[in-house]
Amino acid sequence: MQILSLVRDPTRIEEGFRLLLQQYQERLYWHIRRLVIQHDDANDVLQNVLIKVYRNIHNFKGQAQLYTWLYRIATNETLTFLKKKNKKSAISLEQEIINLADTLKADEYFDGSEVQLKLQQAILTLPEKQKLIFLMRYFEGLPYQEISTILDTSVGGLKASYHHAVKKIEMFIKEI
């Protein structure tokens, strides 16, 4: 793989890293954005992720696919960010759902319909792991095997979680 051979060469690491950005930054951005919702938060988290990737790219052994390794770092960094944010606000889920609606309506980088807003609120009600599985499968179109590697969960468990998530979201949107 060209990116890996370049980033392992100290004289060409920046060239290799630029290629890595071109190839993966957009996918990583959307993965993070769907979890944190707001663009500014996604931008902050993504920059931290990419700096972390640059610092540790020489430790990547190449046993997994590069983007699986990148997704893992992005997921961990995003969950840490969300935990810190939730700890600061310390509000109930119901209040969080209301706040999200207000935030999205005010966000200059959100231009969704009412049903899209409800979809985001429904996703917010899911437990953490179900949320990750739903986003990776529904929006990013990842096969179960890859989600299993990223989240370190069995394929059987993933299927059950995804099916539950889909049903819950449908119910949430239709009920409101």
Gyration radius of the chain's alpha carbons:
18
What character string, x for contact with another protein (CB under 8 A) and - otherwise, covers 60-99? Answer: ----------------------------------------
Residue 76 near residue 125 (C-beta atoms within 8 A): no
Rounded CA separation 170/167 (Å): 5
The answer to whether 131 and 165 have CB atoms below 8 angstroms apart is yes
Element (H, E) at 135: none
Binding mask 7-46 for another protein (x = CB under 8 A): ---xx-xx--xx--xx--xx--xx--xx----x---x--x
In the complex, least distance from residue 40 CB atom to another protein, rounded to whole angstroms: 10
Q: Which amino acid is at 62?
A: G
Choose, by CB under 8 A, the member of 83, 155, 170, 176 that binds another protein: 170
Question: Cα(138)–Cα(143) distance, rounded to whole angstroms?
Answer: 10
To another protein, the closest distance from the beta carbon of 90 in angstroms equals 27
CA distances from 172 to 42, 63, 103, 117, 164 (A): 25, 40, 19, 12, 12
160 sits near another protein (criterion: CB under 8 A): no
Question: Where along the sequence are the contacts to another protein (CB under 8 A)?
Answer: 10-11, 13-14, 17-18, 21-22, 25-26, 29-30, 33-34, 39, 43, 46-47, 50-51, 54-55, 58, 104, 109-113, 115-117, 119, 137-139, 141, 143, 163, 166-167, 169-170, 173-174
